[in-house]
Structure 1
């Protein structure tokens, strides 16, 4: 059976990691095989790049440098983790993927969107998820959650409010223009409600994939 590639996207503090953990638990209870990963990182090389990208001491690196570092981490993750898991027929849950680069570097840093897309399509070999769940929160809500979390802010989180507002706009724009792949969920909803909404759709996708495999 072919694998199922699922990504979760959204602004900082939207609840992606929480939802992935909850979904993984439900998937395992169903007896389905699942690989969970994240971006940037997910591999030994990617984790080293992640530390460089998120470390406040890295300063304001050039936008193109940032684009290429994220793409390099992503290329390694696809090659080493995501593609092999899909070939084994697993469900892959990924916390962020190439849409984050379009939102953060394309819209947030106001880089050339075409260039960002081209670099990332090359890095991933054109691999796109079957479903992307966008957990949407405002820049104000995102900031409040990061404060409540209490951890020191990373290099990206420390950027100005206007940057994060552009990021959110970018995510919503992509979701509205790819309705077959994206589902938008309010990050303000109770955690269980968000999980249930995603789970209902994920089960339907899995059943659809099984039916397609049966018809071959």
Structure 2
């Protein structure tokens, strides 16, 4: 590949993004692609500091507007410092969460006006668009049971009420309906083998199209 691409894995908490990303990475590396795995918020030194703030359960006073702006700030840094240079170098970037999460959580979940969320996103992205958004879809109740089974503490977003998570799920699905060319929804309640097979098929199709 003369130029790389960005593959986003997004969706509900507990949908299995981390496991799917590992599977995609191993698959692509076996085909001799150079792969960069990253996450949002995060991916850079500055982004990881922002992540500490927005996901810290000890910052309940963080208002919705500040949350939105912090996610956008982390994304702007992430793009300039890490994602775009990697794509320009011909690498496949796999990102755990990206713009679909901002639309789902901040608009559908928080209720911030869509045009405002999109405007702030556009300012951070400067015209950049991911090549593929894989949405791993699972009922929030199932997802949160999976999260709880890890035995780790919940972050600030995972501590939101089930109604919030249900609205966010609807947001992911609505985006996929509106942008079928760049979004694919995978039923994450299936066996991991079934999920992996479908995801890899979609990834292979993308890379074949890109040449």
CA distance in 1, matches of 2:46, 2:97: 17
Corresponding residue for 2:203? 202
1:87-110, CA deviations, whole angstroms, 9 ceiling, x for partnerless residues? 011111000001101100111001
Alignment pair present for 1:153 and 2:154: yes
Structure 1 segments of 4 or more deviating over 2 A? none
Shift of 1:189: 1.1
Shift of 1:60: 3.3
Corresponding residue for 1:115? 116
Q: Which stretch of the first structure deviates more once superposed, 75-84 or 143-152?
A: 143-152
Shift of 1:33: 0.8
Shift of 1:115: 0.5
CA RMSD of aligned residues (A): 0.9
CA distance in 2, matches of 1:79, 1:23: 24
Q: Secondary structure at the match of 2:6?
A: strand
Alignment pair present for 1:17 and 2:4: no
List runs of 5+ in structure 2 lacking aligned partners.
Answer: none
Corresponding residue for 1:213? none
Corresponding residue for 2:75? 74
Q: Secondary structure at the match of 1:6?
A: strand
Alignment pair present for 1:46 and 2:60: no
Q: Secondary structure at the match of 1:58?
A: coil
CA distance in 2, matches of 1:157, 1:126: 30
Report how many aligned residue pairs link the two structures.
210
List runs of 5+ in structure 1 lacking aligned partners.
Answer: 211-216
CA distance in 2, matches of 1:205, 1:146: 30
Corresponding residue for 1:27? 28
CA distance in 1, matches of 2:163, 2:127: 31
Corresponding residue for 1:139? 140
Alignment pair present for 1:124 and 2:120: no
1:123-161, CA deviations, whole angstroms, 9 ceiling, x for partnerless residues? 011211111110001111112111111111111111111
CA distance in 1, matches of 2:78, 2:64: 21
